[in-house]
Every structure is written in structure tokens, then in C-alpha cells.
Amino acid sequence: MAVDAFAASNSIGSRSLRFCGLRREVLGFKSLSSTRLVASSPQRHLKKVSASLSENGTSSKGFDYDLVIIGAGVGGHGAALHAVEEGLKTAIIEGDVVGGTCVNRGCVPSKALLAASGRMRELQNEHHMKAFGLQVAAAGYDRQGVADHANNLASKIRSNLTNSMKALGVDILTGFGTILGPQKVKVGSTDKFDGKTVITSDHALKLEFVPDWIAIIGSGYIGLEFSDVYTALGSEVTFVEALDQLMPGFDPEIGKLAQRVLINPRKIDYHTGVFASKITPAKDGKPVTIELIDAKTKEPKDTLEVDAALIATGRAPFTKGLGLENINVETQRGFVPVDECMRVIDANGNLVPHLYCIGDANGKMMLAHAASAQGISVVEQVCGKDHVLNHLSIPAACFTHPEISMVGLTEPQAREKAEKEGFEISIAKTSFKANTKALAENEGEGLAKLIYRPDSGEILGVHIFGLHAADLIHEASNAIAMGTRIQDIKFAVHAHPTLSEVLDELFKAAKVKVSVSSPVGEPVAV
């Protein structure tokens, strides 16, 4: 009898498969020569399979694997490692390169560009340097050197992920995974595309050129980070945002402060409440033209002429070609419908046996670390353990200078929930201007905001704008994940002087109506 199979899908991006995973019984591999595994070129794919080590477990009788994952992105990688740890014989199918979008075209190379451009911005800030008593000659940069830094980092992380799976004996199959029916999969080939003056973030990360003026369509995480990169390297930026305000996904108070620091002082202008109805690439010496229409009335508003346009409206799930129609699964706006346990739901509302979907393809939270957490959660279920992931405990970050981070609900979301469920919320805030380490770094611009229930001490959301906000958020996200109440966490001790004291002061500023719920453990004499 085969161990339950796992199908998880975390696909993002353009035309290659990302982070999709299928549990093995879902694919039901009887043997590599069996008709249950249909590959376009079995011998070719077999050559790409890494050797299975003893650490990778032994599959159930009649099957080659206990678990097969389609997509070797961060979600698939996390699931594969946890599966081997749990004793499941595991294989992973990747249609492009190991690491998926995050490592190759997203989180990893973008952070390398932000690191380089952030240093450039700091060196160019004469007032900032002068405050430290430092004098810096005219700062410059080598475009190709910056691009190489991003590419080299992606290559290194990709290699690390590949080696970590091979070391545990995870079999890596190269090809595009398609479900043919219950417990059947085909491995085929893939294709790609490219862009020049009208680009996506995939192309922008190559930094093939730095335009004098670039329009960025969308002012969310991706657009905001690239505005940080391009302005630091000398570009002028114009945002085109369909909604009535910039940074619509952020807590409004944090977004307002971020706009004052990250947008208003920089060479950035913006158009809100408009769609880019038509974008014409540059050609024969003519610039890129962008026709803007009113987002509500659809009436023409303006026409922009720029050197380049970056489409940063977010990534769409890539679920075409997965063969979902063969198992009666209909996507919703491209997303695979799942329940709270990531189990796939078919067109009739029934659970598809042994099939799970994780990551961007299910649309719950399009973040690499969320995909990994979902994959681990599914493996737990495959192994017979009850596990439901609390998505409100998953943090997110925008790596601008300074950074923005968040976990849980925004203030409007919390107020809506409170009104619906009949409880009160309170807000606590602390400023980076009161933090010694931030002042020592001459980075006092920042705010931390706590949204909580004063009757129980439950943390509903935390939002941070300031130096290293992306690192600071995890104390709050872990507290939400573990169910820790404010009346308990406020007694935690933080080293001085550190930025972590921003969170310490934030929790201490909260006014909870109940006393300490319970001690964490007996005090230890030292």
C-alpha cells in the first residue's frame, strides 16, 4: 500500500513552472517504465535524475516514490527536505532551474541589487555622511558589476539548494510536470521569453541598462523596491497606480510615512487612479509611450513618454499546462482552489484524493517563505499529523531603504473584524527616534505600530517602517504563531542598545486589561 501522495503547487511567473508539488501517490509511480509515469523522453529524463541515497528512505511497495513534487522553488525545496526528514522517498520535478522565481528572478537577486543601490544612496547622501564626520569623494558605480553581484548571488543560492537536495538523495527530474489523471504525470519540455524597453521584474533584475526615466506600473512591493534601486542609480521614476493611493497593500499609516520618506524627497512622481491602457515599446529612436485612462470612467487622461516601462503589477499564477482539467479542477482567476489544509478542491466542491497545492498557485499568500511553510505543513499531513498553518502569522517585508515589514492585520482590517465579531481594538506605537541604536546609525526615521485586543492581549497585527524592519518583525510573527499574549511577551528581555528594543517598547506601551496569563516556565537559579 502506497504512502499518501503529496501534490503541492507554488507557481509564479511567466511561462515556466514554479513551486508546484505533487504528492507521490497522487502521481502513483509504479515504476519508471510503467505507463503511470508518462515522460516525453523517458531515457533523457532518467539521465537527469540524481542518484537516490539511503537517507532518502524506501518507497512503499509498488511505487517508486512516496512523494513527488512538481517545482523546485523555495516551496518545493522546503517540502522535499522535510519529506526526507520524515522518511519519505522523494523526487522533485523542475521545468526551469532549481530555486524558482524567488532565487532566480525575485527575492534573491533583487536583494543584491537593493544592497548595492542602498550603499550607493548612502554614499551620495552628503548630509548623512557629514553627520558621522565622514567625507566621501564622488561616488560612482559599475552597472555590469552590480548586475554580476545579483547574478552571482542567485547562482550561489541555486547551487546551495540543489546540493542540499542531492545530499539527502532527493531525485531531481528536469522537465515540465503535467497531471494526466489520477496518479498519472507526464514530464515534458518548457520554453521562455525576453523583454527590452518594456520589461517585467524578471528582466529588470538583469540590469542590462539603467534608463534616465522609467515608468513603473504598480506601486506595491515590487514597484517600490525597484524605485529604490533605480533612483539610487540615477533614474527618474514615474509610478502608475490604478488605485487612488500609492502602496495600497500596506497599513495606511505606515504607507503615508513611507511615501513621505521613500517617494516625496526622491526623483519620483506618480499618477494614481489610472490604468496604463496601452504601452508601446521604444522603436527607431522613439520613446516608450504609455496611454493612461481613468480607472473608473475609462476616459483618456494622459500619455507618458519614457525611456523604459517596468510592469510591476504582481505575478500571476502559472497553472496552465498542469493538466488540472484531467482531474476536474477549475482554476479561479488562475488559482487552484484549496481548503485550509492545502487540499485541492475539484469543480464539484469535492476534495481531490492525495492532491495538495501550495504557494503562489493557490493564491493564499504569494510569498516564498509562505510556500515553504505550506509545503512543510502538507508533508506533516501526509505523514498522518494534524497541522493547519496560521497565515496571519506569516510576515512580509519590502526591502527599501529604510525597510517596511508587517504581519497580521492592517488597522482597517482589524477594525472591520472587531466590528463584525464584537470586540474592541487598541493601537500602540513607538518611534525609532527613541531608539539608541537607530540614533547611533543616524537612522531615526521610523515607526512601529501594534494592533491588539486590550481585553485579551491578543496581537492582531504589527507594522514596522525603519532600519532593519524586515529583521525586527519576526519577534511579532513568532508571538502570533505561538499564541503569545502581550501581557507575557512584555516581560521578555532585549539586549541594549539594539534595534530590538523598538519592539520591546512597543509591547510595553500596550494597555492590556488582564494580568499575566501564565508563566512560561519555572525560574532557573544561576
Q: What is the DSSP string of 35-56?
A: TTEEESSHHHHHHTPPPPPGGG
Q: Which residue has the cell 541515497?
A: 53
Torsion angle of the four alpha carbons 450, 456, 460, 464, in this order, in degrees rounded to the nearest 10: 20
Residues 206 and 10: their CA atoms lie apart, in Å, by 23
CA distances from 400 to 55, 145, 151, 227 (A): 41, 21, 20, 9
Residues 91 and 350: their CA atoms lie apart, in Å, by 27
Among residues 363, 392, 388, which one has the least CA distance to residue 378?
A: 388
Q: What angle do CA 42, 169, 93 make, to 5 degrees?
A: 40
Residues 176 and 171: their CA atoms lie apart, in Å, by 15
> What single-letter amino acid sits at 162?
T
Our measurement of the distance from residue 378's CA atom to the centroid of its chain's CA atoms, rounded to an integer in Å, reads: 19
Instruction: Assign 3-class secondary structure to 401-434.
Output: CCEEEEEECCHHHHHHHHHHHCCCCEEEEEEHHH
Residues 266 and 208: their CA atoms lie apart, in Å, by 23
Annotated binding site for NAD(+): 218-225, 241, 314
Q: Which residue has the cell 565622514?
A: 134
Q: Catalytic residue among 149, 387, 468, 496, which? A: 496
Whether residue 496 lies in the annotated active site: yes
Supply φ then ψ for residue 371, to 5 degrees. -60, -45
- b/e code 107-117 from CB counts within 10 Å (16+ = b): bbbbbbbbbbb
- b/e code 299-314 from CB counts within 10 Å (16+ = b): eebeebebbbbbbbbe
* Half-sphere exposure at residue 412, Cβ-oriented, CA atoms within 13 angstroms: 8
- Cβ-based neighbours of 59, under 8 Å, separated by 6 or more: 2, 3, 24, 65, 66, 89
Residues 324 and 337: their CA atoms lie apart, in Å, by 11
Among residues 374, 384, 347, which one has the least CA distance to residue 8?
A: 374
- Cβ-based neighbours of 205, under 8 Å, separated by 6 or more: 105, 106, 109, 110, 113, 150
Q: Which residue has the cell 523542475?
A: 94
Residues 50 and 58: their CA atoms lie apart, in Å, by 16
Annotated binding site: 111, 177, 218-225, 241, 314, 360, 366-369
Residues 390 and 6: their CA atoms lie apart, in Å, by 20
- Cβ-based neighbours of 142, under 8 Å, separated by 6 or more: none
Residues 14 and 19: their CA atoms lie apart, in Å, by 13
Beta bridge partners of 466: 403
What are the catalytic residues?
A: 496
